[in-house]
Amino acid sequence: MNTTTLRRTLFLAPLLAAAACGGNEAADARSDDPRTPPAVQPATAREGAAPANASAPVGAPAAQPAVSAPEPQAATGRPVAPPHGPAVLDPIPAAPQQPLTSPVVESAPEAPAAETPADEQGASAAQILQRVERNYGSVRSMQADFVQELRVPLLGQNTRSTGKIYQRRPDRFLMKFTQPVGDVIVADGRSFWMYYPSNDPKQVMKTSIAAGSQQVDLQKQFLSNPNQRYNSRLGGEETVDGRRAYVLTLVPRQQSPYKQLRIWVDKGDYSVRRFEMTEQNESVRRLEFRNLKTNVALPDALFSFTPPRGAQVFQQ
């Protein structure tokens, strides 16, 4: 995997890619073949590429295995995704924006959390995961500041991006980047929009959201049926955003693009404050929520998107 491919992947991209594919297994199969480019059709915003009024309900397909699409070439007219955003049909998770310009300096390792006794680990972890699942069952909306980080030991590279994230079930989602400023990912209930002016201000990517799915319900993608999907271990407690949190290590029981997932679960409300994914190649991707609020009023207008005049809209 080359440097550019690593840099353009996002922590949440397996989920975003599921939305882009609409659960279409044939599309997934095509993306496995590096000779087969994604099928996109350019249009202009002046030709009626404004988003449709969102109303369709959504369901929840499983995340697809990680497959990195070949680098698109400008000469082909196909969309080119920026370092911090997923390429079309690029199913690898969340990444940051730019590599740090200064040399990577290894920080002192965090003191290991106190281990729970072995005879208590399984039951305690399972009980916490049950509470997490129950908590998310009662959450209808959320908003937070986010920080995404990617560490690639093989390349000695660290990258980072920041912004705000909003979600309203079942089918509204918004990632609004402050670094790089202006970039945005929006699900309006019917369409999924990706606009990266930091990379190309005249290019917009659009895909349809499959009716009856929950492709934009990001927490549900990771946290539904956790005790059936993961072998879990409780590793003690740490502080995240000023709040004490349980640290759980989850190992997928079935084939997955990641070998291990760690989550930091708030001891007070059982919300997940931080995700950390370790991939098969030992790259580590972290997503942290700060100033997290749940069940807040989020109007439809927040999730609307109109392509800039003159921008090409690449329809999936």
pLDDT one-digit tens code per residue, 99-151: 443 344 444 444 444 444 433 444 489 999 999 999 998 999 999 999 999 99
For the segment 229-243, the average pLDDT, to the nearest whole number, is 95
Confidence at residue 222, expressed as pLDDT on a 0 to 100 scale: 81
Position 209 scores a pLDDT of: 83
DSSP E strand stretches across the chain: 41-44, 98-99, 141-152, 157-168, 172-179, 181-187, 191-195, 203-208, 230-240, 243-252, 258-266, 272-279, 284-294, 312-315
Would residue 74 count as lying in a domain?
no
Q: Is residue 53 part of a domain?
A: no
User: Residue 84: pLDDT band by 50, 70, 90 thresholds?
Assistant: low
In a domain, 217, yes or no: yes
CATH number for the domain that contains residue 129: 2.50.20.10
C-alpha to C-alpha distance for 234 and 103, rounded to whole angstroms: 34
* 138 vs 213, residue with greater confidence: 138
Domain that includes residue 181, residue range: 3-43+80-99+114-315
Angle at 103 between CA 97 and CA 104, to 5 degrees: 70
Question: Does a structural domain hold residue 125?
Answer: yes
| Structure-token match 């659009």, residue found | 206
Q: Report yes or no on 148 lying in a domain.
A: yes
8 within a domain of the structure (yes/no): yes
Domain annotation covers residue 60: no
Tell me the pLDDT of the chain averaged across its residues: 72
Percent of the chain with pLDDT over 70: 59
Per-residue pLDDT of 259-306, as tens digits, reads: 999 999 999 999 999 999 999 999 999 999 999 999 999 999 999 999
Per DSSP, the residues of 230-275 read EEEEEEEEEEETTEEEEEEEEEESS--SEEEEEEEEETTT--EEEE
| Res. 12 pLDDT band, cuts 50 70 90 | low
Query: Is 174 contained in some domain?
Result: yes
Quote the number of domains for the chain.
1
